[in-house]
Amino acid sequence: MAITAADVNKLRQQTGAGMMDCKKALEESNGDFEQAVDFLRKKGAKVAANRQDRDAKEGVVLAKVNGTGKQGVLVSVNCETDFVAKNADFIAFAETVTQIALDKAPANADALKALPFDNNITIGDKFMEQVGKIGEKIDIGYYSTITAEKVVAYNHPGNRLAVVVGFNQNIDDEAAKNVAMQTAAMAPVAVDKNDVDTATLERELEIARETTRQEGKPEDMVEKIAQGKLNKFYKESTLLNQEYIKDNKMTIRQYLQSLNKDLTVTSFKRFSLS
Which domains, ranges and CATH numbers included, belong to the chain? 5-50 (1.10.8.10), 58-169 (3.30.479.20)
Per-residue confidence band for 41, with pLDDT thresholds at 50, 70 and 90: confident
| pLDDT at residue 27 is higher than 90 | yes
| DSSP per position, the chain | -PPPHHHHHHHHHHH---HHHHHHHHHHTTT-HHHHHHHHHHHHHHHHHHTTTS---EEEEEEEE-TTSSEEEEEEEEES-HHHHT-HHHHHHHHHHHHHHHHH--SSHHHHHTSBSSSS-BHHHHHHHHHHHH-S--EEEEEEEEE-SEEEEEE-TTSSEEEEEEESS---HHHHHHHHHHHHHH--SBSSGGGS-HHHHHHHHHHHHHHHHHTT--HHHHHHHHHHHHHHHHHHHBGGGSEETTEEEEEHHHHHHHH-TT--EEEEEEEE--
pLDDT of 72: 98
- Greater model confidence, 137 or 175: 175
| pLDDT at residue 18 is higher than 90 | no
Residues 247-253: what's their mean pLDDT? 97
pLDDT of 45: 67
pLDDT of 233: 94
Residues 117-131: what's their mean pLDDT? 89
User: What percentage of residues in the chain have a pLDDT greater than 90?
Assistant: 71
pLDDT of 21: 87
- pLDDT per position as a tens digit, 187-218: 999 999 999 999 999 989 998 898 888 889 99
pLDDT of 115: 96
> How far apart are the C-alpha atoms of 246 and 205, rounded to whole Å?
30
Per-residue confidence band for 1, with pLDDT thresholds at 50, 70 and 90: low
- Greater model confidence, 86 or 34: 86
pTM: 0.82
pLDDT of 11: 84
Residues 18-40: what's their mean pLDDT? 89
| pLDDT at residue 15 is higher than 80 | no
